[in-house]
Amino acid sequence: MSHAPRHETLIHALGAGLVPVRRLPPPWLRTLGWLLVVAALAVALLWRYGTGIAMERWQASPDMGWATAGAVLTAICAAWAAFVSGMPGRRAIWAWLPLPPALLWIGASGLGCLRSWVEPAAQLTRTHPAPDCLYFILAFSIPLSALLIWLLRRACPLRPVLTAVLIGLASAAASASLLEICHAYGAAATDLLTHAAAVAVVVAANAAMGGRLLSRH
Amino acid sequence: MPVSPATSTIETADQRRAAWMAAAQAGDRVAYEKLLADSIPLIRAAARRQGVARDHVDDVVQETLITVHRVRHTYDPSRSYEAWLNAIASRRAIDALRSRGRRDSRELHDAFALDRHPDVDDASAASERQQDAQRLRAAIDELPQGQREALEQLGLRERTLAEAAEQTGRSTGSLKVNLHRGLKSLRRHFNREP
């Protein structure tokens, strides 16, 4: 083989530079670490606002309870899928794992919005400026995305943009879940659209910037 | 279900590589070098599956070996080494194809380049070449007859030694000596020119 000596030289050079390495912790462990930070933020918000607001909202519109469950599951599945995508050789199909909870999240939110039109009594009376939700989701998504990118710094995402999209989805879903704690408003189309816009912005920003940060390999 | 000998061999090879990589992660150089050498056919196969041309497969092998070295900590020895390596090699193969595609799109094909980008200095370059030829001709004319004949027959007309010997009636040895001396004289002549 004409190139065999060239490969042999490289193998010897790589062998000469070999040092023991610390194996990457499994994806579930890193997901757990990230979720602990999200849980700490939830505890801080619950300490500040209590459980009353969320309970009132869920009682007035049970679909919002399902939407919150969907958002929490989306955050967990997307974070796990992001860590799995950073391990070469894992099946690409895991990237679809957040899809069912995301459909639950979107579907229940949409249903809640639809019900508020059909049964106006179910709607909470309070009004609020929609941009607050946008700022809340963006403000929480930035550090949560940064933390995920930092936790993936030693990984090898062979499809960096896909990993970045999963990071964006995880952090946006986690932020939307945290918002439920202090979001004392019923399901409304403007509210739903604001949440959707915030999630889209976070996912797109991650895909654009996170992809570059993760494409070192 | 009985395991066929072929399946058993594949599993053993993958398990052996997994064990080598586990040892390499702990710093075992011998296991590491064995593993990398053993990985080359797998990388080649992955590159060919992605459609990398035979001439460029070895570039993919080199890139993949370097990546394997850089991300060896991401391998989990409880999982298939072949699947891990195959994912990296396939990605490097796709990178190579993309990079080649980009390079090809930047390069112009000969016919297109000649058609769209004619050499603006064609006229002046041709005139310069003509002047050079005249100077060379004049320099050859000044050489002694033996050297001139040798240069004309062997250099300008590109005849073989036997043909030149027949044309000039000189021996091949004499022609070789005269060619050598003639070239030396010309070199001296042109090196003297400002």
Specify the number of domains making up chain A.
1
Model pLDDT, residue A116: 65
If pLDDT is split at 50, 70 and 90, which confidence band does B2 have? very low
Residues B130-143 have pLDDT tens digits of: 787 788 888 888 88
Local structure of residue A206 (DSSP, 8 states): I
What single letter denotes the amino acid at residue A216? R
Q: Whole-angstrom Cα distance, residue A163 to residue A159? A: 6
- Best mutation site among A156, A162, A163 for testing chain B: the one with the most B CBs within 10 Å? A156
Q: Flag whether A16 is in a domain.
A: no
- Best mutation site among A23, A162, A214 for testing chain B: the one with the most B CBs within 10 Å? A23
Name the residue ranges covered by the structural domains of chain B.
Answer: 5-106, 116-192
Most confident of A98-102, A106-110, B142-146: A98-102
Model pLDDT, residue A6: 80
Are both B5-106 and B116-192 of the same fold?
A: no
What single letter denotes the amino acid at residue A146? A
% of residues, chain A, pLDDT over 90: 47
Q: In Å, how far is B74's CA from the nearest CA of chain A? A: 5
Q: In Å, how far is B51's CA from the nearest CA of chain A? A: 18
pLDDT higher than 50, residue A62: yes
Model pLDDT, residue B61: 94
Q: Tell me the residue range of the domain where A90 lies.
A: 22-214
CATH topology of domain B116-192: Arc Repressor Mutant, subunit A (1.10.10)
Model pLDDT, residue B151: 84
**A-contacting residues in B 98-117 (Cβ below 8 Å):** none
pLDDT higher than 50, residue B1: no
Model pLDDT, residue A186: 58
Contacts of A84 (CB under 8 A, 6+ apart): A27, A90, A94
Query: B5-106 in CATH: which number?
Result: 1.10.1740.10
State the ipTM, two decimals.
0.79
Residues B12-21 have pLDDT tens digits of: 888 999 999 9
Element (H, E) at A188: none
pLDDT: is A213 or B1 the higher one? A213
Q: Flag whether A67 is in a domain.
A: yes
Is the separation of the CB atoms in A180 and A57 below 8 Å? yes
Residues B27-85 have pLDDT tens digits of: 999 999 999 999 999 999 999 999 998 888 999 999 999 999 999 999 999 999 999 99
Q: Flag whether A10 is in a domain.
A: no
pLDDT: is A72 or B137 the higher one? A72
If pLDDT is split at 50, 70 and 90, which confidence band does A206 have? confident
